[in-house]
């Protein structure tokens, strides 16, 4: 049985269609003060249940709703509750960066386990070490095969050489995997000096020649869009012809849509792991659905 929280009902409905199912009923009441009350309508006794709830903005609200849905399903007798959390909020806070900080992701994982989550399914986590934070099984899916397919389609319209680019050192493993999927397409790494307190980039450099190539920037998420634009500016400075951007999670906070609608970029490809409302969509955006990826994971 598939259930959906409030954060991405469209994705839940798409997954259900792939599986020839319907999204089962939940009663979600929001009180005037913002508190939520969750009630399971359908009979879930001894059923395997799946809750689709990405925890992007507003992350705290979406997590609290997920906690309550899992608890309600457990109290209603569900045999198992699997959380389908394509975008895992707080994943960038998986260890202490500075003295005195909380390890926020550990708080999240412990709460999910405490309320009765059996398993969690995520997509393109920021670090391969994140599953180690959980005591329950973690299935780590990826949008890279979908990106590889789209890049092949784009390459059919191009002339000249191409190159994959990761905008930071943290994406090396991701870019190597994508390179293998694309017959070992060459890749470049942008090295950045980032201020840990403010998050701003102080300096950046690239590790190989990119002149006269079409570049495919690939990242796990886009939040403000500033990292992508900084990478695009550096690539153009180094002589790249065209730039396409791929990222799994379109968090798109603040002015990101306006920032990404930049003359340096041909197109931006994001998945529907995070619901993108109409007001955040922009002409250069194309959304690639991960519904079949999730449906295959559920059915297997």
The strands making up 2-4's β-sheet, listed across from edge to edge, are 2-4, 48-52, 80-84, 119-123, 138-141
To 5 degrees, how large is the angle CA 184–CA 188–CA 190? 150
Q: Judge whether 279 and 253 are in contact, CB under 8 Å.
A: no
Structure tokens at 233: 């500016």
Name the DSSP class of 28. Answer: E
Active site residue 226: no
Torsion of CA 165, 166, 171, 175, to 10 degrees: -10
Residue in this structure with the two tokens 């909020």, named with its chain if needed? 89
| Cβ atoms of 231 and 167 closer than 8 Å | yes
User: What is the DSSP secondary-structure string of 126-184?
Assistant: S-TTGGGG-SS-EEEE-SHHHHHHHHHHHHTT--SEEEEEESSGGGHHHHHHHHHHTTS
Q: Tell me the backbone φ, ψ of residue 281, rounded to 5 degrees.
A: -80, 150
Residue 218: DSSP 8-state: E
Alpha-carbon torsion angle 63, 67, 69, 70, nearest 10: 130
Tokens describing residue 137: 């099984």
**CB distance 163 to 213 below 8 Å:** yes
* Catalytic member of 9, 176, 192, 238: 192
Contact by Cβ (8 Å): 134, 109: yes
Q: Are 240 and 144 within 8 A, CB to CB?
A: no
> Among all residues, which ones are annotated catalytic?
192
């Amino acid at each position: 049985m598939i259930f959906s929280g409030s954060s991405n009902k469209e994705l839940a409905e798409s997954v259900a269609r792939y599986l020839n199912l319907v999204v089962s009923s939940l009663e979600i009441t929001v009180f005037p003060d913002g508190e939520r009350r969750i009630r399971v309508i359908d009979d879930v006794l001894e059923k395997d249940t799946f809750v689709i709830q990405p925890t992007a903005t507003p992350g705290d609200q979406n997590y609290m709703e997920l906690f309550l849905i899992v608890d309600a399903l457990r109290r209603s007798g569900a045999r198992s509750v699997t959380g389908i959390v394509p975008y895992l909020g707080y994943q960038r806070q998986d260890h202490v960066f500075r003295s005195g900080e909380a390890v926020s992701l550990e708080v999240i994982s412990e709460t999910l386990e405490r309320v009765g989550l059996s398993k969690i399914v995520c997509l393109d986590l920021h670090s391969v070490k994140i599953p180690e934070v959980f005591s329950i099984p973690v299935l780590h899916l990826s949008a890279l095969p979908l990106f590889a397919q789209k890049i092949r389609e784009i390459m059919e319209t191009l002339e000249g050489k191409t190159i994959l680019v990761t905008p930071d050192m943290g994406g090396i493993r991701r870019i190597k995997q994508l390179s293998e999927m694309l017959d070992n397409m060459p890749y470049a790494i942008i090295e950045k000096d980032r201020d840990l307190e403010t998050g701003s980039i102080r300096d950046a450099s690239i590790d190989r020649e990119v002149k006269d190539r079409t570049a495919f920037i690939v990242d796990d998420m886009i939040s403000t869009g500033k990292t992508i634009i900084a990478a695009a500016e550096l690539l153009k400075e180094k002589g790249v012809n065209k730039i396409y951007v791929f990222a799994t999670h379109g968090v798109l906070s603040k002015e990101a849509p306006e920032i990404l609608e930049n003359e340096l970029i041909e197109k931006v490809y994001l998945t529907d792991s995070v619901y993108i409302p109409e007001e955040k969509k922009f002409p250069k955006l194309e959304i690639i659905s991960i519904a079949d990826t999730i449906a295959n994971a559920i059915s297997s």
